[in-house]
Amino acid sequence: MEVLVALLGLLLVVGTMVIDDDPSATDGGPDATSTPSGTSSSTPSTTSPTSTPSDSPSATLTPTPDCEPDLALVDPDATPEARCLAQTLDEWRRTGVMGVGQQLNVSTSDYLAPLRRLEPQRVALVGFDLEELAKADTFGFEHPPVEKLLELAADGVVLTASWHTANPATGKDSFDVSWRDLDALLDPETPQAEAFWSDYDAKLDLLRRLQTGEDGRFQPAAVLFRPLHEANGDWFWWSAPDPATYRALWAEMQDHAAEAGVHNIVWGWSANARTHDEIIDPMTLVPELVDLVGLDSYDPVTDDGPPGLDLTGLAELAAAHPRAAIAETGPHGSKDGAWDPRVIAESALAAGLRPTYALLWFDDGNGKDGFTGRKQIASLRGGRAWLATCPDGLCPLS
């Protein structure tokens, strides 16, 4: 629990929940997501962020070019920014490079530290969670995350968002599996549906602010949105669902976004690596309409075996959906940051895969539980050196 003093002189007592989106990606245990942000091994800095949000009038903004991705987006009314985001992903895929991404915890005041510590190197993608972004919006940060995300996008960084939505029946976090009746969400008369869709509408409002560039003050931005991820596991309230119900819910979310006028979404979907029998085949849950598929896979450093990622299932996903990525990756249980990120490309190439990108998480604990630990690129011993071999955050896959 942190105590934050807002800039307007109001004392805000804020509980910032760190969401570590790498559940049992290798062992099937619960995701380590409730670690207080103070346990991060990233040292807070008083240095200002790399750039300061501005109030640029719309007349000074550069028009978005007319982009044509190799693969049409599932939203026929996708914004120019969404088409350009997809075109960027297609260019990476076509030219044989892997974009390097860094997840941020935007609900902490020093949320830019993982990027600042990498300078002058830069990443190609930045990830965030909509639940954390909603909380940050109430904290009165000096540099509002929505504005900073818009600046990053204007600088050519691809934005990708997950959504650890609360259990709509209990109000508890996404790891509360005491209720998991997805059918109830498709019945508008149920209280669970009312809670879920109200929450979703609030998150769509955040995406709409990116779509409009905060009402024209910034360049509009698109987001690779990855909701209801890792459903083939058993640690989220939406996981292990009936496949038909899950796909129907996904389709309803897409329709709902379109009806709300939110068209800056590139729809991404990711499963968990099949590392034990309780994790079901990802192919059984792939939504009918999706722009990108991915696999979340973490390397447990406590294992006796050599470093490596289990990418079981990604080849099958990529065969059906050419835009494919390692949507989350890094070490599990790293206390000292000794894990070598070169393992990512090595594991992919060994499996005959060329992922569009790979996203690493942020530091989220001391690693004693086997899941948390040092994860962000700058905290890995070879992280900065590795990124230096990837110009503009693009690693050659050769």
**DSSP characters over 80-132:** HHHHHHHHHHHHHHHHTEEEEEEE--TTSTTTTHHHHTTTT---SEEEEEHHH
Contact by Cβ (8 Å): 210, 146: yes
Buried b or exposed e, range 87-112, using 16+ CB within 10 angstroms: bbbbbbbeeebbbbbbbbbbbbbbbb
pTM of the model: 0.87
Residue 154 CB contacts under 8 Å (≥ 6 apart), including other chains? 218, 219, 221
* Segment 356-380 mean pLDDT: 94
Which class is 19-41+62-396 in CATH? alpha beta
Q: Name the pLDDT band for 274 (thresholds 50, 70, 90).
A: confident
d(C-alpha 281, C-alpha 188), whole Å: 30
Tell me: pLDDT of 11 over 60.
no
What would the pLDDT profile of 26-50 be if each residue is shown by its tens digit?
Answer: 433 333 333 333 333 333 333 333 3
The three-class DSSP label of residue 210 is: helix
Q: What proportion of the chain, given as a percentage, has pLDDT over 90?
A: 79
Tell me which of 70-84, 178-192, 225-239, 298-312 is least confident.
298-312
The three-class DSSP label of residue 203 is: helix
The three-class DSSP label of residue 312 is: coil
Catalytic positions, written as ranges: 230, 328
Q: Name the pLDDT band for 57 (thresholds 50, 70, 90).
A: very low
Tell me which of 17-21, 269-273, 334-338, 360-364 is least confident.
17-21
Tell me: pLDDT of 7 over 70.
no
Tell me: pLDDT of 68 over 90.
yes
Amino acid code (one letter) for 65: P
